[in-house]
Amino acid sequence: MTHNLNLAHQDEHFYDIIGDVHGHLVLLQKLLIKLGYTMENGVWTHAYRSAVFVGDYINRGPNSKGVLHLIRDMVKAGTALAILGNHEMNAILYFTKDDEGRPIRIPGNNNSKLLYKFALEYQGNSAALKRDIKWLRTLPLYLKLNGIRVVHAYWNDAHIKKLATLYTNGKLKKRTLMSLVGNSSPEYSTAFIETLKGIEFNMPKDLLIRDAQHVKRENFRVKWWKNPKGKTFKKLSYGNKFLLPDYTIPSEIIADYTIYPKTAPIVFVGHYCMGKGPLIPTRNVCCVDACVTGSGRLAAYRYNGEEELDESNFVFVKK
């Protein structure tokens, strides 16, 4: 589904693609100011540019509700576009109830804690929370904009075609969400999950990896623009907060996925928390997630219609 919202400059190529904000409202405001946006009638606006948000607006930071409302107001006013990240989807699935009044999906312990804190920001105003969740369900899972692509974690043309059919009247219906989580349509569920979370390989049973919190890691994220065959764990790893060994990945744990072609259009992603980079890991993939919670940096890439990504087009603000 291609969303052509009523952007004042949607026929231009001037986009500010903004990375995962994770509830850091003040930092987002600082970034918008640095990018030249000003407040007009209560909405952040630029004279000739449009903001594009890549998902993960909520959780971890101190003001997820504020971030959500800032982005919502920009989208409604036509000064920004926004897609869903995995954190928004966790919220959608948790706060949307099934036919028996239960959450469509209850996430793992850590994400449940994050969503509990998110709900507390509404101070018991369940109607306001419900309205925001319903608005999130109207956001797309990807964008195609004047020759570039925007997705939260992984672009696969076949997945995109499937995802385009999930929306009814511009919204993810409750029945659709239930079917995706219930895995009644495995192909659609795979497209849904991988688009939001990327490609992950399971760890071999004999490889014990623990992160900085001493939590055992069961899987790891990979460079989906690379052929995994013959690659070491270290070489194929991207966006993992733990060290992986530098020996070849056993063929039996290599999951099948479509490699993003070198000739495909530039795609912008978030998700990978690349505080130390590289934010441009290959010629046509750009990650705008500079890991705001860990590094304290919020990133934007100023796209001006160029055919080659340019590190100098990044704009950062720091806590």
Q: Does position 8 have pLDDT exceeding 70, yes or no?
A: no
Q: Does position 3 have pLDDT exceeding 60, yes or no?
A: no
Q: What ranges do the domains of the chain cover?
A: 15-197+268-318, 200-256
Residue 233 buriedness (CB in 10 A; 0-12 / 13-18 / 19+): buried
Mean pLDDT of 215-240: 96
| pLDDT above 90 as % of the chain | 92
Helix (H) or strand (E) holding 80: strand 80-82
Hey, what CATH topology would domain 15-197+268-318 get?
Purple Acid Phosphatase; chain A, domain 2 (3.60.21)
Residue 295 corresponds to which tokens in the numbers above? 């590094």
pTM above 0.85, yes or no: yes
Q: What is the pLDDT of residue 215?
A: 86
Q: Give the residue among 21, 307, 313 at the shortest CA–CA distance from 148.
A: 307
**7-16, 129-138, 174-183, 278-287: which has the minimum mean pLDDT?**
7-16
Q: What is the pLDDT of residue 253?
A: 96
pLDDT bracket for residue 11 (50, 70, 90): low
Mean pLDDT of 178-196: 92
Mean pLDDT of 65-69: 98
Q: What is the pLDDT of residue 72?
A: 98
pLDDT bracket for residue 12 (50, 70, 90): low
Helix (H) or strand (E) holding 30: helix 25-34
Which residues neighbour 275 within 8 Å (Cβ) at sequence distance 6 or greater? 290, 291, 294, 295, 297
Q: What is the pLDDT of residue 16?
A: 98
Mean pLDDT of 182-206: 93
